[in-house]
């Protein structure tokens, strides 16, 4: 297990790498070229510059989150072939720079969705909050405004302005795309990129939909164990794998996260772990919470134990944190609570390791 930490680059992150370097046990940075428009090829020189910046701080760069997938690919438009070709070129450039794992998602129009980016919790901290009833009464374009307004001036990952400016057109195009069509479009994309990923030694890791159900009537397919099973079978290659996000999948209590880690880990298809806890007030209403085992609906101990038991050697990162101690930063991505999360998860790992008798990865 490589304890990792997501970082948005010098231009869009409030946290300097030297502070991340001081979190005990964190060795690996998860990052991306956030300024390249979705669909364009990432130049090798730019990837190398990012890697050099990270390594100069005493950290490694082997995991990318995310290389986003152009909407034309998700929609299955004829123009998708050009973007798939660019994606292949990006994977080759990333591999040349030493990147081993590439995270991506396949959510139509929106990336992760929340109705409140700073819900005040009883202890005075704030956290990301989702309330299904609020989404039902909301126009998509109002949600876009809310997300932008609540971002404290940061560019939120997956919420690119240039793409969301065409939101009405996108919704019209998706009228033709149901879940089966979306599966077919994912298969076409994977058939286009997985042979390249496999050849250049990159493991692709699809991130679950967050939340793992339909939002605004748009189809969502990366939502459940059965669907994940179908996705890893769309192209049968070890390069076609998963980023298992406990918080995203865990919002649906039917998803047994430790069981999924064991299952897909045993298949050799689990390439990246996102670990966080959530509190579910009622179905469709949840907010994020501290990583501690008893802080929410998910047992962080059972999650880390599952990773340990499968001998997981890939990257694991604490996922969204609360805002605590007066910190101002990108919602979900402050330093303090994620640092607490990293150390807590690492503490669980160490204890499991030392009491399990055998040396694991
Ligand atoms: Mn995640």
Cα 117 to its chain centre, rounded Å, is 17
Tokens 């298809």 — which residue?
A: 269
Q: How far is the CA of 325 from the centre of ligand 1 (A)?
A: 23
| pLDDT score at 252 | 94
Q: How far is the CA of 319 from the centre of ligand 1 (A)?
A: 6
Distance CA 174, CA 35 (A): 26
Using alpha carbons, select from 317, 339, 327, 325 the residue that is nearest to residue 1.
Answer: 317
Token pair listed for 198: 């496999």
Distance CA 97, CA 59 (A): 15
Distance CA 213, CA 206 (A): 16
Q: How far is the CA of 295 from the centre of ligand 1 (A)?
A: 18
Token pair listed for 125: 């901290």
Is residue 206 within 8 A of residue 105, CB to CB? The reply is: yes
Token pair listed for 80: 């998708």
Distance CA 220, CA 178 (A): 9
Is residue 300 within 8 A of residue 293, CB to CB? The reply is: yes
Distance CA 132, CA 186 (A): 26
Calculate the dihedral angle through the C-alpha atoms of 333, 190, 200, 275, rounding to the nearest 10 degrees: 30
User: For the chain, which residues make up each domain, given as ranges?
Assistant: 2-355
Q: How far is the CA of 134 from the centre of ligand 1 (A)?
A: 22
In a 13 Å sphere around the CA of 71, the CA atoms on its Cβ side amount to 20
CB-count exposure of residue 64 (10 Å: 0-12, 13-18, 19+): buried
Any idea how long the chain is?
361
Q: How far is the CA of 136 from the centre of ligand 1 (A)?
A: 24
pTM: 0.94
Distance CA 98, CA 48 (A): 9
Q: How far is the CA of 209 from the centre of ligand 1 (A)?
A: 9
| pLDDT score at 358 | 60
Q: How far is the CA of 158 from the centre of ligand 1 (A)?
A: 12
Using alpha carbons, select from 247, 246, 361 the residue that is nearest to residue 308.
Answer: 361
Token pair listed for 341: 């999360």
Q: From first to last of its 361 residues, what are the pLDDT tens digits of the chain?
A: 999 999 999 888 989 999 999 999 999 999 999 999 999 999 999 999 999 999 999 999 999 999 999 999 999 999 999 999 999 999 999 999 999 999 999 999 888 889 889 999 999 999 999 998 888 888 888 888 888 888 888 888 778 777 677 788 888 899 989 999 999 999 999 999 999 999 999 999 999 999 999 888 899 999 999 999 999 999 999 999 999 999 999 999 999 999 999 999 999 999 999 999 999 999 999 999 999 999 999 999 999 999 999 999 999 999 999 999 999 989 999 999 999 999 999 999 999 999 987 655 4
Q: Which helix (H) or strand (E) holds 321?
A: none
Helices (H), 201-224: none
Q: Which helix (H) or strand (E) holds 64?
A: strand 60-65
Is residue 317 within 8 A of residue 4, CB to CB? The reply is: yes
CATH number of 2-355: 3.20.20.150
| pLDDT score at 11 | 86
| pLDDT score at 359 | 55
Using alpha carbons, select from 149, 136, 244, 224 the residue that is nearest to residue 179.
Answer: 224
Cα 201 to its chain centre, rounded Å, is 21
Is residue 319 within 8 A of residue 3, CB to CB? The reply is: no
Q: How far is the CA of 245 from the centre of ligand 1 (A)?
A: 5
Cα 187 to its chain centre, rounded Å, is 20
Q: Could you list the active site residues?
A: 207, 245, 274, 319-320, 333
Token pair listed for 18: 């030297």
Is residue 62 within 8 A of residue 28, CB to CB? The reply is: yes
What's phi and psi for 78, nearest 5 deg?
A: -55, -30
Q: Which helix (H) or strand (E) holds 279?
A: strand 278-282
């Amino acid at each position: 297990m490589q304890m990792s930490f997501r970082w948005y680059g010098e231009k869009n992150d409030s946290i300097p790498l030297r502070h991340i370097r001081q979190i005990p046990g964190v060795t690996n940075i998860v990052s991306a070229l956030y300024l390249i428009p979705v669909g364009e090829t990432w130049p090798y020189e730019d990837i190398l510059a990012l890697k050099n910046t990270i390594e100069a701080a005493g950290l490694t760069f082997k995991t990318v989150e995310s290389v986003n997938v152009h909407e034309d690919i998700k929609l299955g438009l004829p123009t998708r072939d050009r973007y798939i070709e660019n994606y292949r070129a990006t994977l080759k450039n990333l591999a040349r720079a030493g990147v081993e794992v590439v995270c991506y998602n396949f959510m139509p129009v929106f990336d992760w969705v929340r109705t409140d980016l700073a819900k005040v919790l009883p202890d005075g901290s704030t956290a990301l909050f989702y309330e299904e009833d609020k989404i039902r009464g909301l126009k998509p374009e109002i949600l876009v405004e809310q997300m932008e307004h609540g971002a404290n001036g940061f560019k939120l990952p997956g919420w690119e302005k240039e793409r969301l400016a065409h939101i009405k057109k996108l919704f019209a195009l998706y009228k033709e795309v149901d879940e089966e069509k979306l599966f077919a479009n994912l298969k076409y994309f994977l058939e286009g990129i997985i042979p390249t990923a496999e050849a250049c030694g990159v493991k692709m890791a699809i991130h679950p939909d967050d939340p793992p159900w339909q939002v605004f009537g748009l189809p969502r397919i990366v939502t459940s164990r059965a669907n994940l099973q179908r996705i890893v079978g769309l192209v049968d290659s070890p390069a076609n794998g998963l980023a298992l996000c406990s918080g995203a999948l865990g919002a649906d209590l039917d998803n047994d996260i430790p069981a999924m880690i064991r299952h897909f880990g045993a298949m050799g298809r689990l390439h990246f772990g996102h670990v966080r806890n959530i509190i579910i007030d009622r179905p469709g209403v949840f907010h994020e919470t501290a990583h501690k085992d008893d802080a929410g609906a998910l047992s962080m101990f059972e999650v880390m134990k599952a990773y340990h038991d499968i001998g997981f050697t890939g990257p694991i990162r604490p996922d969204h944190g609360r805002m605590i101690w007066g910190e101002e930063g990108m919602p979900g991505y402050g330093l303090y609570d994620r640092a607490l999360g990293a150390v807590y998860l690492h503490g669980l790992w160490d204890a499991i390791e030392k009491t399990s008798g055998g040396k694991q990865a």
